[in-house]
Structure formats: C-alpha cells, structure tokens
Amino acid sequence: MLRPWSPVPIEDNGEPLIALPAELLRLEPHPYAALGAPYGQAGCPFRLRQGVVERLLQAQDALQQQHSWRLAVFDAWRPLAVQAFMVEHALREECRVRGVDPQQASPERAAVAAEVGRFWAPPSADPATPPPHSTGAAVDLTLAGPAGALLTMGGAIDAIGEVSEPEHYASAAAADPSSPAADWHRRRRLLQEVMVAAGFCQHPNEWWHFSHGDQLWAWRSGTPRARYGRWAGDGAGAVAVGNGIS
C-alpha cells in the first residue's frame, strides 16, 4: 500500500544512527522486544539519526520550560524484520479482538487488514518506499511526569482506530473543558506543539508518531526531498540506503 508520501525522492545525508542519551526516558523493557520481535544482531532499537536526537532534546527542553514533564520514548529505529513481525502481530491481535479468523480470507479479514494498514507501514525492502521507522527518522513517544510515570493520553500507543487520531478528543474537550477528555486533548496538543516547534511532523493517524527528515516529514512540510533513507545493517557495517533519485 503506497502512502501519499511514497513518491517523495530520498537523498540520504549519511548522518549516523546514534543511541538516545540518558536525558531521554526510554520505556523498558522495549515493548516489541518483549513480544519477541527479531532484533537479532541489529542492536538496540533506542537509536535515531543524530539530527533527530538533537531535535528531541530541543523538544524536551521546551516541554520542561512549561512543565516538569518529560518525553518518554516508546520506540525509535526499527529494522525491516521487526516491522514485518509487528505488522503480522497487529493483524492477528486486531482479528482476535474482532472475532475474525486471521488465516481465512474474508471481507472481515480484509477490513481488518485495511484498518491495520492505516497505522502500520508495509515492511518494504524497496529503497524508494522505506517504512518511516526503518530510516532512523521516526519516533513513537508520549509524556511522563518528573518521576517517569506515564501520563494518560486517552488511548494506548499502537491502538487501532479513531481514538489514535491526534484530534480525536477535540470536540469533547470543547464541550466540557473540565472533563478527562479535555485533559487528554491538552496533553496531545502539548506533545504536538513541542515536537513541531523542534522541527518534527506528526503522523496524521497517530498522536504518538513524529518524524524529521523522512518522506512523511517531507510530504507534510512541503520539503522536496527526504533527508533519510532506510538504515540497513548493524554496528560499523550499517549503511544508509537511498532511493537513487537526485
């Protein structure tokens, strides 16, 4: 399934993938590793391109100027094998929730696959259409209090459905500014504001997903070319894979 940003050309700038610094809270154990996702020799998932890490720190500084809250990183770089594992996991889990047989072709299964596809990018090995997380440009994150306890945001990260859309609670918040929904909306807006101010763009379907430098970011920001392609390999042997378009 092609995304609106899939045609954006990529000219990878070669920035390294680096570990998140201690200033940024990580959700550990890593949620996908805990499910058995095959990271293998790929290394720690809590890594991003250098320029993306710098912008994350900017976002956290801006957040802490307003609150004592912190950013809490759920997921960062994701190799293709993990992307494939998680797409299949999400499909099976959503089929289970809806009482649909994931092994049997049916209109119901097709509907589940289409809904899952709104949130999970295909694990494409084509350099022209890398999943956002495979580039080291995308990060899934939420807000935490000063002691590291996660704040309620009105929906879990990776939830399938309208509840995950960034503005899902806007109407409820307007109708009753003192409601829990209003709190969730304000927190989502605050996360969005500090991330956008630091140069990120938000996924249109996911309140938790932001990126800088990938195709989605280029499409949403009106930038003619993406700065980061898929990051392949591990350790010193890792390479950035562009789509060859100049």
Distances (CA, A) of 204 to 18, 193, 211, 229: 27, 14, 11, 20
CA–CA gap between residue 83 and residue 243 (Å, rounded): 19
* Torsional sign, CA 45, 30, 120, 158: negative
Q: What is the bridge-based pairing of β-strands 209-211 and 230-232?
A: unpaired
Residues 157/74, Cβ–Cβ less than 8 Å: yes
Residue type, 58: Q
CA–CA gap between residue 108 and residue 94 (Å, rounded): 11
Q: Write down the catalytic residue from 11, 15, 23, 206.
A: 206
206 carries an active-site annotation? yes
Active site residues: 206
